[in-house]
Amino acid sequence: MMDMRGKAAIVGIGEVPTGHYPERTFADAALTVAEMAIKDANINKSEIDTVIPIGVVSNSINNGNIVCSQMIEALGLGSHAKSNFQVMSGGSSSASSLKVASALVATGLSKAVLVVHCDQMGTQLDLETAISTFSKVSVSPEYETPYGWSQLGLGGMMQQRYMHDTGATERQIAAVVESLRKWAALNPNAMMRTPRTVDEILESPMISTPVRKRMMNVLADGAAAYIVTSPERARDLTDQPAYILGMGSKCTNFTTTQQPSDLVSAWRPAAEEAYAMAGITPKDIDVAQIYDAFPVFILISLEILGICKPGTAGKFVEDGNIAPGGKLPCSTNGAMMAQGHTGAGGGIAILVEAARQVMGKAGDRQVPNIKYAVETATGGVGMDMHVGVLGTEV
């Protein structure tokens, strides 16, 4: 694999609040975050020659428009832009788009790449459509649908298996959500900012045993963007770029029934590859931004990343280590459990937060003295694992 260490950097980010915003149009939100990222990067629009729109789940017309260069025209890039093309791999679109953008810059095919995600999962999908969508996507119509399988069923079974294999308790699972709500309380862009205790989470109704209502993410409207350019240009544009130091990936399955039973062992090579490229070890990580379709994903990922030994992540979280003030701050935007589920944007928000922390722009939730941030992304029903390392210097 090509060594991408220090060959590209994130220089600008943009994000609007996540939630239910029926008055906010798709085009307005997408344009707003793009312009925010451009302003944040202090870059001239003439340098942006490639736009990568992430796939839109809630509305096929909006997706078609953004694929067909809507952002090129809206931003006034038509006189010099080279490319507008979509990247889409569900929740892992953040990692996929970062790979493509970094490679374009590293090879000299692009000066600067703008990646934009926008979706209206909260207001463009009615309840029945949402239920139908998430019971069919990444589910085999031949071998799983006839038995009532759905993505929600996956969350319950993965949590049940993890608890069985490791001895993790329901209180430890709930502690993940408690920590994420504490971070969300500090994030003005988060949807669910009300803190919740472990007891409050465990008092919520059971939805898909052993997943309770407050252990689930909520569909929302949201948009975010980021800009990638060369490290040389990055140093001219901003005092603190987020340098891309390492990337690693594993893609293992389509359906849940074919997913490796031991995800820690199956997906750990993604973390090892990213660490080797970055020249770091798990002990060097200052903050972890972890993709979290369900809270158990954070526990599994902490073990994949080598932050916790197998079977110990539950106790690590229960002791307050990933919450504000903890030993290893984790998912400091509140992740999808608290910021909200915006389709493929869940991973984009995690990546943007990783860059925000490295660039020192996280406000009340800024982790001090950051040198390295690790971020993860997973798509489908757990089809892949991507690990990225961002840093303050090359």
Cα 6 to Cα 106, 110, 231, 233, 241, distances in angstroms = 9, 16, 7, 12, 11
Q: How far apart are CA 236 and CA 230, in angstroms?
A: 10
- Using the Cα atoms of residue 131, residue 155, residue 137 and residue 227 in order, give the sign of their dihedral: positive
pLDDT tens, the chain, 394 aa long: 678 999 999 999 999 999 999 999 999 999 999 999 999 999 999 999 999 999 999 999 999 999 999 999 999 999 999 999 999 999 999 999 999 999 999 999 999 999 999 999 999 988 788 877 777 888 888 988 888 888 888 889 999 999 999 999 999 999 999 999 999 999 999 999 999 999 999 999 999 999 999 999 999 999 999 999 999 999 999 999 999 999 999 999 998 889 998 999 999 999 999 999 999 999 999 999 999 989 999 999 999 999 999 999 999 999 999 999 999 999 999 999 999 999 999 999 999 999 999 999 999 999 999 999 999 999 988 999 999 999 999 9
Nearest residue to 105 via CA among 230, 1, 234, 13: 230
Token pair listed for 116: 């934009």
3-class SS at 157? helix
| 228, HSE (Cβ side, Cα atoms, 13 Å) | 31
The phi, psi pair for 321, rounded to 5°, reads -75, -20
In 10 A of CB 22, how many CB atoms?
10
Q: How far apart are CA 300 and CA 337, in angstroms?
A: 16
Residue linked to tokens 């690693």: 248
Nearest residue to 14 via CA among 287, 235, 227: 227
pLDDT of residue 176: 98
pLDDT of residue 1: 64
pLDDT of residue 108: 97
3-class SS at 84? strand
Token pair listed for 186: 């500090």
What are the chain's domains?
A: 9-124+222-237 (3.40.47.10)
Token pair listed for 21: 């915003």
Distance of CA 83 to the CA centre of its chain: 24
Residue 365 is given by DSSP the state: G
Residue 268, exposed/middle/buried by CB under 10 A (0-12, 13-18, 19+)? buried
Asked if residue 210 has a cis previous peptide bond (ω within 30° of 0), the answer is: yes
